[in-house]
Structure 1
Amino acid sequence: MSVLLLLLLSILQGVTELFPVSSLGHTLLVPALFGVQLDHHAPALLPFLVALHLGTAIALLWYFRIRWIAIAQGFFGSLRGRPSDDGHLAWALLVGTIPAGLVGLWLEKPLERLFHDLRIVAFALLVNGIVLWLGGRRGDDEASERAPQRLTLVQAALVGLAQIGALIPGFSRSGLTMIAGARVGLTRKAAAEFSFLLGTPIILAAGMLELPKLMHDHAQLATAALGGVLTGIAAYLSVRFLMGYFEGSGRLASFGIYCIVAGALCLGWFALHPLAA
């Protein structure tokens, strides 16, 4: 893998994993638009892309390190019969993580086949944009009228269910969970924080599960390690920006417009250049 392509894929992963625009969709589509042919059938491609998630997970753990320490303390405190808000949040994150984790393991092979047709990925990106635009506009309007509230375990499970849609390349995990968080009563900033906290175990687990597939190829492993570092830097800068963006007047629906335009342009490009898909 060339250094330039490594830089491109790693930075794309770090930025788009947290921005609600689908990291895997962009990682598959952008190289094709620039005439870079990725071998979608190569057995090491998907493990490499997923291994980049480790960089994102480490960046999220570092950015929210104080929050995670409090969550861990609250979790162990709840096991000893000392309930707290942090302990409740720990259980909410655990409950929210289960649905996507189980479905991802169950449908791993069928979902991998979707990566091989970029027209499906582009269409999913367009639909993701429509969902973000509709859900984001409604959520933004309602968020201003609601105060943040502590999620019940049922509400946390509903937000977790939204992650399942992101198993399809082109759909955004962070976007879907932010919309779901707004629908159950969180403000934009609280929904973004819960989305990033909820995504950390999934992102970390995905990277850890795929990493052994690269162990037999030391060159590929070294490339993945370098890519992970670059991804982590991009992810850290992204989460800093997004938390400030949603704390202010930032609107999730704006990302929906981008995804609609990008998905439509990609579909048009592949219609004119079918071999690129």
Structure 2
Amino acid sequence: MDPLHIIVLAIVQGITEFLPISSSAHLILFPRLAGWEDQGLAFDVAVHLGTLLAVVGYFRRDVLAMGRDWGRSLWLRRRVGDSRLAWAVLLGTVPVGLCGLLFNDVIAQALRSPLVIAWTTIGFGLLLWLADGVARRVPRPRDEHSLTRLDILLIGCAQALALIPGTSRSGITMTAGLLLGLSRAAAARFSFLLSIPVILLAGGLSTWELIFEDHPVHWAAMGAGVVLSALSAYACIHWFLKLLDRLGLFPFVLYRLLLGGVLLFLLYPS
């Protein structure tokens, strides 16, 4: 891969993974619109590994506490500290895991098109706008520790929709969280924590597919992709959470509407 392609795509993945604008859509669209060759599965795995390192690193204290208390809850057979949140993340991952195993091939073959991305970008952008408006009217928004099993299942089912390119995993899980009465910050934090097992599962599946592909692996490109996507994703998480309450979600809604509109214009220029 050309060094410029590596830098741009790694940074694009790092920024878009945690913003509600769909990283998969950008990784599909950017090479096509720029006239570049497809970056390949190995590079996609590398940049997703970078974003995984970023979110684990940013929430390292939460992740360590959740892992510790989850283990203690198994041993003591009762709720301990942050074990409830750990169980919530695991339960919320089940729907997307099952859907990924059952429908991964169908989604990869039938739905990775600019037309699908255009409409999902617009449609789920409008839904995010609606959810943010609803959340602003909630007098006492909840935090992620108050989620019930039904809440978690609903957010998990919403997350499964993110298998469709253009939906945005962070966007749809934040939308569901806001509609269930979470604050913006709580919806974002739970969405980011949910990304950890999802990226692990997706990365594992992609790595398994990669093992059986007879293509050379460009280790230097992959290493650069990991580092650049990790750094950009870490910065993105930090500033997104810092500015979320001040800026709200409308800037991302507007971006989605503009991107979807541009794609439809390019697809149907007449």
TM-score of the two chains, using structure 2 as the length reference: 0.90
Higher mean C-alpha deviation, range 99-108 or range 126-135: 126-135
> 5+ unaligned residues in a row in structure 1: which ranges?
none
Cα shift at 1:91: 0.8
CA distance 1:84–1:234, shift in 2 (3 Å): same
Q: Work out whether 1:54 is the aligned partner of 2:58.
A: no
Alignment partner, residue 73 of structure 1:
68
For residue 64 of structure 2, what is the amino acid of its counterpart?
I
Where does structure 1 differ by over 6 angstroms across 4 or more consecutive aligned residues?
Answer: none
Q: 1:29-79, CA deviations, whole angstroms, 9 ceiling, x for partnerless residues? A: 223333x2434xxxx824532442111011100000000010011101111
Q: How many residues are treated as equivalent by the alignment? A: 266
Alignment of 1:243-254 (within 5 A): 243-246=241-244, 248-254=245-251
Instruction: For residue 107 of structure 1, give the secondary structure of its aligned residue in structure 2.
Output: helix
Q: Please tell me whether residue 228 in structure 1 is matched to residue 226 in structure 2.
A: yes
2:263 aligns with one of 261, 266, 272: 266
Is 1:257 aligned with 2:254? yes
Give the gaps of 5 or more residues in structure 2: none
| Pair 1:114–1:231, CA change in 2 (3 A) | farther
Structure 2 counterpart of 1:133: 129
Match of 1:112 in 2: 108
C-alpha separation in 2, matches of 1:53 and 1:228:
8
Q: Using a 3 Å threshold, how does the CA distance of structure 1 residues 168 and 38 change in structure 2: closer, same or farther?
A: farther
Map 1:1-277 → 2, pairs under 5 A: 1-34=1-34, 36-39=35-38, 45-81=40-76, 82-114=78-110, 116-142=112-138, 144-148=139-143, 150-214=146-210, 217-246=215-244, 248-272=245-269
Residue type at the aligned position of 2:184: R
After TM superposition, give the deviation of residue 254 of structure 1 in Å.
2.9
Give the drift of 1:218.
4.5
How large is the Cα RMSD of the aligned pairs?
2.0
How much does 1:18 deviate? 0.3
Distance 1:169 1:11 in 2: 19
Q: Please tell me whether the aligned partners of residues 121 and 169 of structure 1 are also in contact (alpha carbons under 8 angstroms).
A: yes
8 Å CA contact 2:41, 2:210 repeated in 1: no
Q: CA deviation at 1:133?
A: 1.5
Q: 1 CA distance for matches of 2:220 and 2:110?
A: 27
1:137 CA drift (Å)? 1.9
Cα separation, partners in 2 of 1:31 and 1:70, compared to 1, 3 Å: same
One-letter code of the match for 1:122? A
Q: TM-score, normalised by structure 1?
A: 0.88
Select between 98-107 and 77-86 the one with higher mean Cα deviation. Answer: 77-86
